[in-house]
Amino acid sequence: TLPPKKKIYFVLGGPGSGKGTQCAKLVTEFHLCHLSAGDLLRKEMQSGSPNGQMIDRMIRNGEIVPGHITIELLKNAMEEQSETRGFLIDGFPRKLDQAGAFEKLVGDFEFILFLDCPQEEMERRLLKRGESSGRSDDNLESIRKRFTTFIETTMPVVEYYRSREKLVQVDASRSVEEVYKDIRSYFIESKS
């Protein structure tokens, strides 16, 4: 069972909007535990899991892996971190039903941080990273599929939580430091 009363924050944004980069900065300042759903899926794929081939194919195609798989990985990772004061969950939930299933499992959360960034900027960043990342989805074909999935399937999650006033939005097109300056203010507010 999950330890109670740890704060949970979600971080959403398109591919290359800077979720991982900003989470790393939040970890340093606020001592939260950063869990990237994409990283957990990539690790699961490399571990030789029976789901590995399916995860590999879906990531290359920019498709969303069935929620029960991702939720199980997140749940296990959270249970391993009994000491942390809270969790930053990066890149999840990507689909409305996943949001509901996860909320049922862990209860309430603080807010969703939404990194808003124009597609051209995200594409520039990802193509640059693709020169050295080795990520199977950092090529133009996969990147475009990831954008489509983001707009069609993940933006409804963003809009749903905006309507419930659980969304905090920042302009993520600026420099890493400028974006972080805005983000940290929300976490300072949330500490008290």
Chain contacts with ligand UP5 (rule: CB under 6 A): 13, 15-21, 36-38, 41, 58-59, 62-65, 70, 91-92, 94, 125, 129, 137, 146, 175-176, 179
Q: How far is the CB of 192 from ligand UP5 (least distance, A)?
A: 27
Q: Are 32 and 118 in contact (CB under 8 A)?
A: no
Q: Is 9 helix (H, G, I), strand (E, B) or coil?
A: strand
Distance in Å, CB of 189 to ligand UP5, minimum: 22
The C-alpha atoms of residue 167 and residue 12 are separated, in whole angstroms, by 10
Note whether 37 and 89 are within 8 A (CB).
Answer: yes
Cβ closest to Mg ion, residue 19 vs residue 34: 19
Nearer to Mg ion, 107 or 118 (CB): 118
Structure tokens at 191: 């500490």
CB of 48 to ligand UP5, least distance (A): 18
Give the pairing type, strands 7-13 and 111-116. Answer: parallel
17 binds, among ligand UP5, Mg ion, none (CB under 5 to 8 A by kind): ligand UP5
19 versus 125: smaller Cβ distance to Mg ion: 19
